[in-house]
């Protein structure tokens, strides 16, 4: 007999979005449920209609089979679909996972309604109980529930089979920038309710303390009994019921029961309101009572009283215009793929809070339910995004009526699940799916059902940022140049808030000009922020020996962005797939192990809650840059750094400032007359333990310069400078003398933005040093050379002069007009082995570059050389430190080199030459050199975000002409 579920062929039928699936609701049933997580029997079939048979293996649920030693491995694509079929088609070779286990139904569930909940399955789910068909669901990122009351019995065992078809018509609207997996990726539960049960609960809690609780009630046995009622309490205090609706007499033909509705209204005096800075929550308990007064069902919710509205071109939370300091976030884990635990989610969100983020966009689908609970608790605004992205076939699908039900189904189910969370302030209709009638239909449903929140959709708003008649209440462009955003805000035509849904693409060594971007946002009315792309580098831990995912056994094999020997972070193409998009999946502000990248410190400083506004001779002006709270939750320490090596500290007493206020505080130090350049830093930490940060967690390090550098001169002395026949400096601690360098190992932005191909065409990666002339004038040596590329010649001069204790190197390079945008102009040399500690005065301690240095304060820093390098997933230029005035490279016995620079310069010290990094695809291919490779740059090009978005601004480009710099080399 043909299986009726297979007969529907749901993997190729877009009109079939579900069969036998219950309606979505906001009643949380996780408490008291029977967890079915664990090991399941498993078979991987070549196609959904292939027969089940043969040997069973085991997989862990929840978990993707693509990470559990099957023959179906992960695949990464960004825009392209991983198969050739056009919508709604799917490939004949269609991996299908059959998951099976026995389930023992508790004996005390007799007479109760029993429901199966499958948290998420990619991409089509077929449910069978003891071989009997139960239901179908699509949508890989929302739970599907099925009523099993009529097919299972309390106290008995049944066989549950969950069949997951990997590819389907639905895959065409799940074409998100992420790994493709297959499997059951969120928890599976079985729960029981009384036949008389809460079918749904809607909570609306306003900024003014007004509370409205709407309840829907059903009875699985048929018509609702007379006399049922609901009650509720808030933080344990009963709420009076203002009104009860009579049960409705309209029969629901699908489930043959009756629907009742009830409403409770109340006003909470002196209400504590919710916002991302002070996320005040109340505990609400709703009870459904039988006619005899006993409790039939209970639903618990955490309620935040807050309002969201758009007033003109401002998005307001509780009447306040807030800056949206957001990040895009996928559900991701390097061992389990899309499966994340509550502990994983808490670690994600606490890290974001510590680095100044106040918002998350759930790109590009509804997140695991626990994320919203945590966002409510910790304080994060959420743009909740529906599981709709048809990137490769966006134009065709947007108006395709075959996909109309899928669009509305996915958007509406997201809203029905998440509408009670105060953290959710905006609904998103999806991502990168063009714009058509299907979006308008989904938007119409949301506007009718939940008018309390705005809607956004980039595909609608990108047609005209100033429009007022599309499916977006917010202009939410992607990667718009900040100049264009400012121009729009100043044009007089802006009609709605402009908050970029994606900006500052964090691929590799990136996020250049982030501080410039935010300086424009904070100074331009009408601009309110945006969401960095993205949180994670989606590297999967891979065993190098066999090229397969490490899976759950990989726990503990990585730390601080570095994998254990024999393993590496895999990206597109590393699992043998022919269709892939390479390292484009590695574009987050954290590494796959959640280690922060240097760009996170940049964001932390840009989002600083307290800032030094200016320095006056009578003191320092501090400002509170929060929206809702004072500075009482913060503590501070003053730190004075002098160029001569001294650092002074003193406790800081932060003034009582309301949001937006400023105040002058006395200068905490009498600045010594000597010591040269002087910088004052306020190290701001949490003053008490918080749910997302222990006491003493550093929140920001605002800084101001109190005194500029003093002028010093190196006086020539009698001595001899030694050079070899090629005019290269000979020195006992140098294994390669200083030469000119215009090349850097291309960053992802350089490669994908098009600058690296130009550099190669000019021959900057293989300059030939020739036409060398050496002139001696007493102890001074002048070396003139030409560096020939494929498209021009650079003239370079070094003047080497003996000075007290060392050698002064004066340099000049003349770039021809052809070289109108190079990577760097500077010096590179290599040292002997054993110099393993770098100490410097400049920006640090983390990596910084000319257009990404706001988060690296000037001071005295020290790190082992091996800790200076940043292990971006694809090796590239990294490890630089900007604004370095002087540094030492020393051995354990304190011998080594000291370098003084004529002015603050870009410096890098690593174990790798640029060509080493350029040639490697992964870090396991790199072999550290025994000595140090040192770059001293007169100028270094900015990083930008051109892998997806604007390049660096003109101020950070290197132009043709004459560049001069000098430095002094001494022996410690």
Indicate the pLDDT class of residue 505, thresholds 50, 70 and 90: very high
pLDDT, one tens digit per residue, over 779-812 is 999 999 999 999 999 999 999 999 999 999 999 9
Mean pLDDT along residues 413-425: 98
Whether residue 72 has pLDDT greater than 70: yes
Whether this model's pTM surpasses 0.85: yes
pLDDT, one tens digit per residue, over 425-481 is 999 999 999 999 999 999 999 999 999 999 999 999 998 999 999 999 999 999 999
User: Rounded CA gap, 282 and 271, in Å?
Assistant: 10
pLDDT, one tens digit per residue, over 922-942 is 999 999 999 999 999 999 999
pLDDT of residue 558: 94
Rg (CA), the chain: 31
Q: 130-136 long-range CB contacts below 8 Å, 24 or more apart?
A: 130/158, 130/159, 131/159, 131/161, 133/3, 133/4, 133/5, 133/20, 134/20, 135/5, 135/18, 135/19, 135/20, 135/21, 136/5, 136/8, 136/10, 136/16, 136/18, 136/19, 136/20, 136/21
pLDDT of residue 192: 97
Indicate the pLDDT class of residue 30, thresholds 50, 70 and 90: confident
Q: What is the full DSSP assignment across 569-582?
A: EE-TTTTS-SS--G
Catalytic (active-site) positions: 432, 502
pLDDT of residue 297: 96
pLDDT, one tens digit per residue, over 707-735 is 999 877 788 898 889 999 899 999 999 99
Mean pLDDT along residues 849-870: 98
Angle at the Cα of 962 from the Cα atoms of 956 and 966, rounded to 5 degrees? 85
**Which residue, chain included where needed, has tokens 């209709």?**
429
Sign of CA dihedral 885, 886, 889, 893: negative
Mean pLDDT along residues 750-757: 97
Mean pLDDT along residues 16-43: 94
pLDDT of residue 240: 67
pLDDT of residue 241: 54
pLDDT, one tens digit per residue, over 366-412 is 999 999 999 999 999 999 999 999 999 999 999 999 999 999 999 99
User: Rounded CA gap, 784 and 800, in Å?
Assistant: 11
Whether residue 247 has pLDDT greater than 50: no
Q: Is 773 exposed, middle or buried (0-12, 13-18, 19+ CB in 10 A)?
A: exposed
Instruction: State how far Cα 3 lies from the chain centre.
Output: 43
Q: Determine if the peptide bond prior to 835 is cis (ω within 30°).
A: no
The overall average pLDDT reported for the chain is 95
> 419 vs 76, 317, 322, 450, CA distance in Å?
32, 16, 21, 8
Mean pLDDT along residues 62-73: 97
pLDDT of residue 1: 55
């Amino acid at each position: 007999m043909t299986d009726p579920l297979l007969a529907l062929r749901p993997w190729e039928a877009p009109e079939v979005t579900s069969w036998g699936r219950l309606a979505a609701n906001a009643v949380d049933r996780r408490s008291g449920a029977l967890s079915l997580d664990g090991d399941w029997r498993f078979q991987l079939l070549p196609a959904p209609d292939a027969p089940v048979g043969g040997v069973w293996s085991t997989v862990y649920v929840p978990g993707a089979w693509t990470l559990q030693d099957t023959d179906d491995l992960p695949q990464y694509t960004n825009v392209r679909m991983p198969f050739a079929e056009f919508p709604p088609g799917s490939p004949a070779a269609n991996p299908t996972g059959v998951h099976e286990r026995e389930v023992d139904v508790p004996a005390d569930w007799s007479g109760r309604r029993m429901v199966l909940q499958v948290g998420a399955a990619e991409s089509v789910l077929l449910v069978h109980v003891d071989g009997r068909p139960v239901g179908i669901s699509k949508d890989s990122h929302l739970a599907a529930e099925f009523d099993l009351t009529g097919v299972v019995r309390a106290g008995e065992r049944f066989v549950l089979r969950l069949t997951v078809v990997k590819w389907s018509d639905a895959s065409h609207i799940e074409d998100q920038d992420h790994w493709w997996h297959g499997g059951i990726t969120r928890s599976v539960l079985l729960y029981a309710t009384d036949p008389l049960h809460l079918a749904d609960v809607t909570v609306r809690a306003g900024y003014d303390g007004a509370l409205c609780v709407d309840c829907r009630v059903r009875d699985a046995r048929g018509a609702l009994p007379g006399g049922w009622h609901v009650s509720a309490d808030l933080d344990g205090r009963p709420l009076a019921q203002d009104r009860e609706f009579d049960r409705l007499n309209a029969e629901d033909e699908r489930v043959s029961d009756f629907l009742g509705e009830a409403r409770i209204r109340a006003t909470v005096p002196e209400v504590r309101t919710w916002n991302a800075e002070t996320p005040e929550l109340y505990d609400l308990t709703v009870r459904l009572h039988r006619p005899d007064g006993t409790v039939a069902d209970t639903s618990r919710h955490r309620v935040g009283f807050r309002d969201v509205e758009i007033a003109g071109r401002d998005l307001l939370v509780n009447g306040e215009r807030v800056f949206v300091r957001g990040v895009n976030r996928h559900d991701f884990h390097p061992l389990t793929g899309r499966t994340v635990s509550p502990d994983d989610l808490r670690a994600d969100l606490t890290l974001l809070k510590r680095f100044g983020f106040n918002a998350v966009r759930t790109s590009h689908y509804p997140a695991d339910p626990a994320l919203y609970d945590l966002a409510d608790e910790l304080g994060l605004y959420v743009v909740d995004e529906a599981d709709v992205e048809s990137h490769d076939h966006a134009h065709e699908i947007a108006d395709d009526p075959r996909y109309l039900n899928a669009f509305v189904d996915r958007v509406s189910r997201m809203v029905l699940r998440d509408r009670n969370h105060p953290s959710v302030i905006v609904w998103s209709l999806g991502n990168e799916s063009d714009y058509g009638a299907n979006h308008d239909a989904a938007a119409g449903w949301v506007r009718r059902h939940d008018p309390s929140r705005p809607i956004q959709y980039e595909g609608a708003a990108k047609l005209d940022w100033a429009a007022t008649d599309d499916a977006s209440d917010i202009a939410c462009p992607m990667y718009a140049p900040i100049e264009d955003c400012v121009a729009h805000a100043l044009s007089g035509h802006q009609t709605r808030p402009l908050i970029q849904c994606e900006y500052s693409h964090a691929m590799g060594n990136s996020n250049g000009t982030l501080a410039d971007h935010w300086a424009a946002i904070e100074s331009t009315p009408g601009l309110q922020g945006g969401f960095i792309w993205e949180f994670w580098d989606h590297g999967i831990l891979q065993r190098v020996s066999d090229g397969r995912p490490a899976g759950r056994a990989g726990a503990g094999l990585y730390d601080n962005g570095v994998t254990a020997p024999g393993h590496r972070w895999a990206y597109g193409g590393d699992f043998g797939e022919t269709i892939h998009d390479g390292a484009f999946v590695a574009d987050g502000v954290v590494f796959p192990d959640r280690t922060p990248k240097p760009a996170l410190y940049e964001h932390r400083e840009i989002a600083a809650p307290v800032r030094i506004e200016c320095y006056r001779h009578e003191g320092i002006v501090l400002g509170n840059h929060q929206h809702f709270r004072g500075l009482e939750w913060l503590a501070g320490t003053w730190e004075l750094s002098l160029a001569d090596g001294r650092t002074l500290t003193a406790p800081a007493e932060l003034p009582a400032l309301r949001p937006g206020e400023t105040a002058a505080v006395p200068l905490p130090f009498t600045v010594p007359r000597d010591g040269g350049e002087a910088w004052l830093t306020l190290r701001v930490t949490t003053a008490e333990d918080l749910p997302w940060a222990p006491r003493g967690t550093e929140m920001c390090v605002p800084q101001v310069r109190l005194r500029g550098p003093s002028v010093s001169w190196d006086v020539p002395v009698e001595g001899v400078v030694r050079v070899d026949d090629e005019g290269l400096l000979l020195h006992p601690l140098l294994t390669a003398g200083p030469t000119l360098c215009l090349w850097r190992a291309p960053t992802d932005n350089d490669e994908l933005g098009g600058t690296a191909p130009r550099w190669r065409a000019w021959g900057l990666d293989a300059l030939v040093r020739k036409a060398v002339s050496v002139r001696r004038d007493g102890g001074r040596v002048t070396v003139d050379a030409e560096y020939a590329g494929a498209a021009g010649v650079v003239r370079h001069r070094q003047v080497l002069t003996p000075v007290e204790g060392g050698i002064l190197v004066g340099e000049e390079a003349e770039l021809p007009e052809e070289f109108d945008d190079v990577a760097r102009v500077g010096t590179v040399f290599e040292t002997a082995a054993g110099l393993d500690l770098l100490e410097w005065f400049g920006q640090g301690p983390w990596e910084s570059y000319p257009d990404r240095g706001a988060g690296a304060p000037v001071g005295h820093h020290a790190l082992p050389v091996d800790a200076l390098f940043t292990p971006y997933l694809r090796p590239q230029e990294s490890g630089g430190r900007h604004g370095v005035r002087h540094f030492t490279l020393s051995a354990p016995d304190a011998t080594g080199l000291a370098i003084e620079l004529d002015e603050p310069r870009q410096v890098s010290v690593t174990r790798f030459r640029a060509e080493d990094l350029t040639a490697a695809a992964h870090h396991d291919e790199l072999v550290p050199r025994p000595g140090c490779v040192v770059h001293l740059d007169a100028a270094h090009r900015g990083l930008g975000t051109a892998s997806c978005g604007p390049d660096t601004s003109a101020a950070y480009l290197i132009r043709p002409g004459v560049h001069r710099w000098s430095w002094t080399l001494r022996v410690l």
